[in-house]
Amino acid sequence: MLRNVLTSPGVARVFAASLVGRLPAATVELLLVLRVRELGGSYAAGGIAAGACALGLAVGAPIVGRAVDARGQTRVLALCTAIAATALAALALVPAGTPLAAVVALAGLAGAAHPPLSACMRALWPRLVADRSAQHAAYALESVALELVFVVGPAVVAGVVAARSPALALGLCAALLAGGTAAFAADRASRSWAPAANRPGDAAGALASRGLRTLLAVLLCLGMSFGAIEVSVVAFCGEHGAESAAGLFLAAWGAASMVGGLVAARRGSTDQPIARLLALLAALAGADLLVVAAPVPAALVVAMVLAGVPIAPLFALVYQLAGDVAREGTATEAFTWLTTGIGVGLACGSTAAGALAQHAGPHAGFAFASAAICAGALVVARAGAAALQPVHAAA
């Protein structure tokens, strides 16, 4: 099934372009911290700049997504890329002594204008692969590729290039964003994507769909869980005198997710997506309980691998369901709302786990992560299958 997706006409080219354009998203916030330090600022000031970028993305993504649904991909992507790439280039070129307010403004602009390549690619999949099972494999491939992007991006751009110069790394991000997005927007699949003739014009937009609101709540819970785990792993490793090993634990977590995504891509879709969604959430919550119980680093890495396996399949299913429940003409906005949901969740989970780790230890943060997944499962169970049925008009 995975081969069928990748060999479908036009898929490999546009998908590869989207991945190149998405590489900067995995590393820009880290680079902003490093760049502010290079300019003579503090870590706290760098955190403010990174937070401004994240906030800009969370707020701007649904607005940009709605613009794509109204005007098509090509023009909106071109405008967003010009603004975001220029802001990143300016951040790479500003001299030492630049006021923090200017840096923060540029960072916020780069985040708010960031081209929604992930959402645009997901909106294209139903047109690129018509078979339902192949679409599920495509969304699973998306999840695997994003895991890869979030491994390669920080490792190469932040780990290698930024070691020489954070400014150079930001410049590289601007070039990757511009080049990848230009190639994507110039592709026939993207250029031929047109707004729906009967796109709803009310203020609610994609959020009028009860199914999308349900999935948004689920991703908020997932984001809280992931943010809590990332912070708690660092605290756990520090507690055991191996703080530098945190990256390896998180890498094992991500690698396991990629394996799970590949398995999901080969397996195809299911006739009972809601049951599978609940099963994946239950598996993730159970694996997180193993993380909570891990007494030593060796046990934690095993638990992290088990906890990673359901993640990419879970996202693949959420993406497919989001496409099903989105109101006609709001697909891109719907996918950007999911990005906002998980981003807000990550921020909340990181904050909560930091406080818990400080006062009750890292295992309290892990417990919070498992509880967040349980909350997501409860959201799905309470909404019921009716809320996540495919729709083709206003919800």
pTM of the predicted protein model: 0.85
Average pLDDT, the chain: 88
CB atoms within 10 A of CB 233: 27
pLDDT value at 182 more than 90: yes
Average pLDDT, integer, range 365-388: 92
pLDDT at position 394 is 38
The pLDDT of 321-326, averaged and rounded, is: 91
Which amino acid, residue 4?
Answer: N
Q: Is the pLDDT of residue 158 over 70?
A: no
Distance CA 319, CA 200 (A): 21
Q: Classify residue 199 by burial, with Cβ atoms within 10 Å: 0-12, 13-18, 19+.
A: middle
pLDDT-derived band at 270, boundaries 50, 70, 90: low
CATH superfamily for domain 205-388 = MFS general substrate transporter like domains (1.20.1250.20)
Task: Give the closest residue to 299 by CA, choosing from 371, 240, 350, 259.
Answer: 240
**Given this model, what pLDDT does residue 1 score?**
64
Residue range 2-131+149-191 forms a domain whose CATH class is: mainly alpha
Q: Which candidate, 22, 9, 17, 15, places its Cα nearest to that of 182?
A: 17
- 81-107: b (≥16 Cβ within 10 Å) or e: bebbbbbbbbbbebeeebebeebbbbb
pLDDT digits (tens, 9 = 90+) for 73-101: 999 999 999 999 999 999 999 999 899 99
Cα radius of gyration (the chain): 20
Distance CA 73, CA 102 (A): 30
Residue 298 predicted with pLDDT over 80:
yes
| pLDDT above 90 coverage of the chain, percent | 53
The answer to whether 304 and 253 are in contact (CB under 8 A) is yes
Question: Is residue 393 over pLDDT 60?
Answer: no
List the structure tokens of 13: 């080219």
| High-pLDDT (> 70) share of the chain, % | 96
* 205-388 shares the fold of 2-131+149-191: yes
- More confidently predicted of 263 and 393: 263
Residue 392 has pLDDT above 60, yes or no: no
State the Cα–Cα distance between residues 176 and 166, nearest whole angstrom: 15
10 CB burial (10 A radius; 0-12, 13-18, 19+): middle
State yes or no: pLDDT of 269 exceeds 80: no
Query: Mean pLDDT lowest for which of 28-37, 90-99, 146-155, 259-268?
Result: 146-155
Listed by start position, the domains of the chain span 2-131+149-191, 205-388
Separation between Cα atoms, residue 341 and residue 322, nearest integer Å: 13
C-beta of residue 218 within 8 angstroms of C-beta of residue 347: no
Please provide residue 14's backbone torsions phi and psi, each rounded to the nearest 5 degrees.
-70, -35
Residue 116 has φ and ψ, to the nearest 5°, of: -80, 65
Q: Are 191 and 64 in contact (CB under 8 A)?
A: no
pLDDT of 243 higher than 70:
no
Which one is predicted more confidently, 152 or 118?
Answer: 118
Q: Which helix (H) or strand (E) holds 53?
A: helix 43-71
Cα distance between residue 52 and residue 107, in whole Å: 6
- Say yes or no to pLDDT of 267 above 50: yes
Q: Each residue of 124-152: pLDDT tens digit?
A: 998 898 787 788 888 888 888 887 887 77
Q: Model confidence over 364-373: pLDDT tens digits?
A: 999 999 999 9
- Nearest-angstrom CA–CA distance, 174 and 153: 13
Burial class (CB in 10 A: 0-12, 13-18, 19+), 263: middle
Mean pLDDT of 54-74: 93
